[in-house]
Structure 1
Amino acid sequence: MTLSKPIALDLPSTDSEYWLQHALGRLVTNPALLERTLQAGVQTTLAGLPETTTTLLSLMLHRQAHRFQLMAKILDERLLKNVLRFLPLTAASTSQEILRQRWQSFRQAQEGTEWPDHRSCAMAFCHNTLVQPGLIDADDSDAVDVMRYEYTVLRVDDRVRRRPPAIDADVIDEVSMSYPALVTACETVRFNWNISKEVLALRTSLTGYRPKTSDLYPHSDSKTAKASEPGETLLFYASWQDSQVRVLRVDPSMLLLVSYCDGLTPIVNLPRQLRQAGYSPQELESLGTTLQKLQRIGLLRLFADPAVARTAFLSQGLR
């Protein structure tokens, strides 16, 4: 990848040694930038360096190019290893060769970019891979979906870190008098195959034990949750109870119910609205039980005060 615009070094100090060390640090932690600098020269790729620093850095790169390349390679491999700590299922389901190819493409596309932590770098790596069709082979689509799964978990976790769920108000168990409200970060993703079984198998192989599933089908006889339908829809959310990201397998009826949990709709009005939207009598019959279960698993809350319910809903940036 060739860039004509040099990387600007915004440095507060005028000390030549400081500038030199900072420039070297940028180069050995950015392999693509280092290679471009070796080919095009310091003046072409790094802007803002004093003339003496540019001269000294050019001389060092000329004499010790191999040493700096080796150092950059070691640091890059270490960074990938730390990034994959946040993507263990991706690492387990993707060949090392394909991972390296995607990583190299990512590092070239993000030349000169720095991340505050390994988690942020992992999210950027996923985004770069998933938005570039050329990086995804048809034979590797399942592994790419596993990355999409873990990327969604990281996104939801990042949202809840920046905006914790509202948990300061009391919840109630009396469903008939409540205002249900979704109060936590969540995302819905549709997969064209049963990825939850693959995720379960991967986790079992990595940890040595079989974790409990979190599948939620409120009604097995729902017209919209037929076993013959290909794929599955997963709801990723951060539980308001402990801020941990959890995943539910949901059907259209469940998504419809959640869409009405906005803090504005009292529970007494839900049956009429859901019936008009296509809810079956069997589903309506167990509506209260379903809402209580959703509260127990930390997806939504049942409030007595509609103003508090709406405030909790809006606190997550939901509309």
Structure 2
Amino acid sequence: MTWRAMAVVLLLVGGMWSDVLGEFQGLPDEVLREVRDRKALPRGRYTFVKSWEAEGEGYGHKTGRKIADKEASGGAVWEVREWRDVPGHALYGPYVQLPAGDYVAFFRVKLMGAPVGEVVAEVDACVEYGRRVLNFRQVADVDLVPGKFVQIPLAFRYPGGKLECRLWWPGMGSLRVDKVALFKVEGARLEEVIKRAPRPVPSGEPSGLAYRAEPRPFPDLFPRSKPPSPRLVVADVRKLPRDWKLALVTLQGIVNRERPTLYMLFFSTDEFWLEWLRKRGWVKEIEAVSDPRILLKRFGKFVKGMVIYD
């Protein structure tokens, strides 16, 4: 290729990139280059508001830890690791109050490991301490790049109040979160990127249905199981990925048909109810299992088959 041809190519590429920057006026080049999903990015005039380091004082965490990362803006990130950490909010906060308007939050996230087609995060913007969600989106591992930071944009219309831009981690895939940058956007049509189902309209049909009382199979409002075994097998599954949790809770349901024998710890509240059973005298002894996955072998006689899904 001659130098003239190379110059033409560079001019064309530069012109195309200038057009892209013009659609997102005011958005820094280093941010835009890391956005893979441009369809989630509203066109308009961007004004930087503020950014918060994921490991900094502005954010709280329910899971994960701070570690060093030389590619992060502040030299450190907040990391969540599969098989090590429990699912939960890796980021919540920063409870900032701003003028009402349209905004876009950019979550800078890195995938640690190869993608397998799983949802690895859910980001949202909310007020009223999570009671009112302004917008949210699920992030799959295929939306990210292994070993490189990617900007995940989230557009929302902010009415006022204490704003949170959160990242919830389901326990699948290992992630590193660098920071969250907030921009105000003007002249944008957020309805193009925020997809919401229309409000349902009651049809009034069916109508005039006759009520027919059915005999209840049990006397109380809810069915009652048999009293638990005085010796409970307890397994802590909080750090396991979702596929293992699904398999073990299914096993629990099968084994406990005859008598509640298996008890799983999915949340911290499950420890409270386990202690409640002990105080009432229903459970005399607890056998804690170090690795919950061995329960499949131990209670294998209860299993008649297995469903494998892709």
TM-score range, shorter chain: under 0.3
Structure with greater helix percent? 1
Taking structure 2 as the reference length, the TM-score comes to 0.23
Q: Which has a greater percent of strand? A: 2
